[in-house]
């Protein structure tokens, strides 16, 4: 058996530890980490009192910015506009969380990954614009889509009034309209097949949602707490209604289940305190 000297072994452990240690660097209002290839990720913007529109830097200390970490610009409450440079490849989750004055965002050509709820509780955001050269995402009338516009990714929370989902869309993404509290009416395009999880979560002013007969599934929590929704017509194309799909729709008075529906998830109509009538089509075999 070969004995390894204690000092030598401790040196090896130290080298291994330092090899994986990532040091945060502060430069002006930015805190960043350096990637192995020399590019950097913005971890934090420290000037949370900044007022106005901010063109995010594409290079800091001569290093190229390729990513923005989760919560990096959180609670910059007076930030009114943001331009994300072409060098940035990804945005992690909740990057602009609670930037309550943010009205417009321009996404550069390089971004190919956008994390969950990047613009969470940006209650005055009305326009998301994507550079035409971006190969992964696009925008139309201030709404964020994938490049082909088959998936609606994010409607800005500050959008008000009525909105018609384009006929190019086949999928309404997870929480795509979440917390759009000023939307009053949604017309879903005739090509939509699936309404994603929590797609209209917390749309408290939504009084009507026209669901076309192209839709086959209504996701979990899809209309959670749409408290102003008074009626919902589910077309004969729908086969599945997810768990808590209409949870706490306190204004909902009646609903009709067509014969196509074979699965209704747990709690689909829980806390619908005004619901007095659920009609199931006589031809429903489930």
**pLDDT band, very low/low/confident/very high, at 262 (cuts 50, 70, 90):** very high
Using CA atoms, how far apart are residues 235 and 256, in angstroms rounded to an integer? 9
- What is the rounded average pLDDT of the residues 156-164? 98
Average pLDDT over residues 224-233: 93
Mean per-residue pLDDT, 279-286: 88
Q: Which domains does the chain have, with CATH numbers?
A: 23-140 (3.80.10.10), 160-286 (3.80.10.10)
The neighbour count for residue 182, using CB atoms within 10 Å, is: 17
pLDDT tier for residue 232 given thresholds of 50, 70 and 90: confident
**pLDDT tens figures, 68-119:** 999 999 999 999 999 999 999 999 999 999 999 999 999 999 999 999 999 9
Cα–Cα separations (whole angstroms), residue 238 to 70, 214, 271: 36, 8, 22
User: Which residues does 84 contact at the CB level (< 8 Å), separation at least 6?
Assistant: 56, 68, 91, 105, 106, 107, 108, 111
Mean pLDDT of 193-203: 98
What percent of the chain is predicted at pLDDT more than 90?
86
Could you read off the pLDDT of 5-57 as tens digits, one per residue? 555 544 444 444 444 446 799 999 999 999 999 999 999 999 999 999 999 99
Q: Indicate the pTM of the whole model.
A: 0.90
pLDDT band per the 50, 70, 90 thresholds, residue 187: very high
Please give the pLDDT value at position 84. Answer: 99
- Partner residues linked to 185 by β-bridges: 162, 208
The pLDDT confidence band at residue 167, using thresholds 50, 70 and 90, is very high
Q: Would you state the pLDDT for residue 64?
A: 99
Average pLDDT, the chain: 93
Q: Is the pLDDT of residue 282 over 80?
A: yes
* 234-265 CB burial, b ≥16 within 10 A, e <16: beebbebbbbbbbbbbebbeebebbebbeebe
Which of 204, 201, 190, 199 is closest to 218 using CA atoms?
Answer: 199
Closest of 249, 208, 245 to residue 226, by C-alpha = 249
Per-residue pLDDT band at 283 (split at 50, 70, 90): confident
pLDDT of 1 above 70: no
- Give yes or no for residue 133 having a pLDDT over 80: yes
- Sign, CA torsion 114/118/123/129: negative
Pairwise CA distance, residues 85 & 30, whole Å: 15
pLDDT at 22: 63
Cα–chain center distance at 100: 16
pLDDT of residue 72: 99
């Amino acid at each position: 058996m070969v004995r390894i000297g204690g000092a030598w072994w401790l040196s090896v452990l130290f080298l291994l530890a330092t090899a994986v240690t990532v040091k945060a660097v502060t430069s002006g209002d930015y805190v960043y980490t350096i990637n192995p290839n020399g590019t950097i990720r913005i971890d934090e913007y420290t000037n949370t009192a900044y007022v106005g529109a901010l063109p995010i830097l594409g290079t800091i200390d001569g290093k190229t910015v390729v990513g923005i970490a989760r919560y990096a610009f959180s609670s910059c409450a007076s930030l009114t506009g943001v331009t994300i440079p072409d060098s940035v490849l990804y945005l992690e989750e909740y990057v602009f969380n609670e930037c309550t004055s943010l009205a417009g965002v321009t996404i550069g050509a390089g971004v190919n990954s956008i994390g969950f709820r990047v613009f969470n509780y940006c209650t005055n955001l009305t326009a998301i614009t994507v550079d035409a050269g971006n190969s992964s995402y696009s925008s139309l009338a201030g709404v964020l889509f994938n490049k082909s516009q088959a998936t609606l990714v994010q409607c800005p929370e500050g959008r008000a009034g009525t909105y018609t989902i384009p006929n190019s869309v086949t999928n309404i993404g997870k929480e795509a309209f979440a917390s759009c509290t000023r939307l009053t009416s949604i017309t879903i395009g005739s090509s939509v097949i699936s309404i994603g999880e929590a797609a209209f979560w917390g749309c408290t002013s939504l009084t009507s949602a026209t669901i076309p007969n192209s839709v086959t599934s209504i996701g979990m929590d899809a209309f959670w707490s749409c408290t102003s929704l008074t009626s919902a017509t589910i077309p004969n194309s729908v086969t599945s209604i997810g768990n808590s799909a209409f949870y706490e729709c306190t204004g909902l008075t009646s609903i009709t289940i067509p014969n196509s529906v074979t699965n209704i998830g747990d709690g689909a109509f829980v806390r619908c305190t005004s619901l007095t009538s659920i009609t199931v089509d006589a031809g429903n075999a489930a």
